Amino acid sequence: MRKLIDSMRTCMYEAPGVGLAAPQLGLGLQLAVIEDREEYHKDVAESVLVERERRPVPFHVLFNPLLEEIGNERAEFFEGCLSVSGYSALVSRSRAVRVTCLDERGQRKVIEASGWYARILQHEIDHLNGTLYIDRMRTRSFTTMDNLAEFWKGKPVSEIKSELELRTS
């Protein structure tokens, strides 16, 4: 299991990504690895980090996670995925979650997360349940990473949503 976790970590870093679930590698295991490294934040505007509530998250492992949404508050941001490389879309997710799981030592762990970390957890646990972000996306927002950078980079999500609604009406 240690070898698999190390391989998943390496694969996640090389992509680069902030999470990877075993099913993305063709493995039928309820296992995911997560880490949002500080170096991934260096080219992101401070206003975007604040809007997304994004902070570094240390490396950790989730075995058999159970997800519970906390409250009714939702947040919508662009997401990408190593399984759908080169694309992104707006996805609405719960702003806060609680995850009960086992860690890499088999110890029970309860994680309470909000903001971007909660989004990462939901995204990876979705993989374990056979769901991709494209199953949850705002369809009209689906775009290439190049177009995302050209047309939407640095804009608040509220402005992007308004522009998308104008284009579809």
| CATH number for the domain harbouring residue 153 | 3.90.45.10
Is the pLDDT score of 119 beyond 90?
Answer: yes
Output DSSP code: residue 142: -
For residue 130, the enclosing domain spans 2-168
DSSP letter at 131?
-
Q: Which residue has the higher pLDDT, 41 or 169?
A: 41
Mean pLDDT of the chain: 95
Task: Determine contact, residues 57/117, Cβ cutoff 8 Å.
Answer: yes
pLDDT computed for residue 154 by the predictor: 79
Q: Name the helix (H) or strand (E) containing 6.
A: helix 2-14
Tell me: pLDDT of 164 over 70. Answer: yes
Per-residue pLDDT tens for 26-77? 999 999 999 999 999 998 889 889 999 999 999 999 999 999 999 999 999 9
Residue range 102-118: mean pLDDT, rounded:
97
- Provide the pLDDT for residue 33: 98
Query: What is the mean pLDDT of the segment spanning 81-88?
Result: 95
Separation of CA 115 from chain center: 10
Q: Residue 169: what pLDDT?
A: 62
pLDDT number for residue 43? 87
Q: What is the mean pLDDT of residues 124-136?
A: 98
- Residues assigned a catalytic role: 124
What is the tally of structural domains in the chain? 1
Residues 47 and 116: their CA atoms lie apart, in Å, by 14
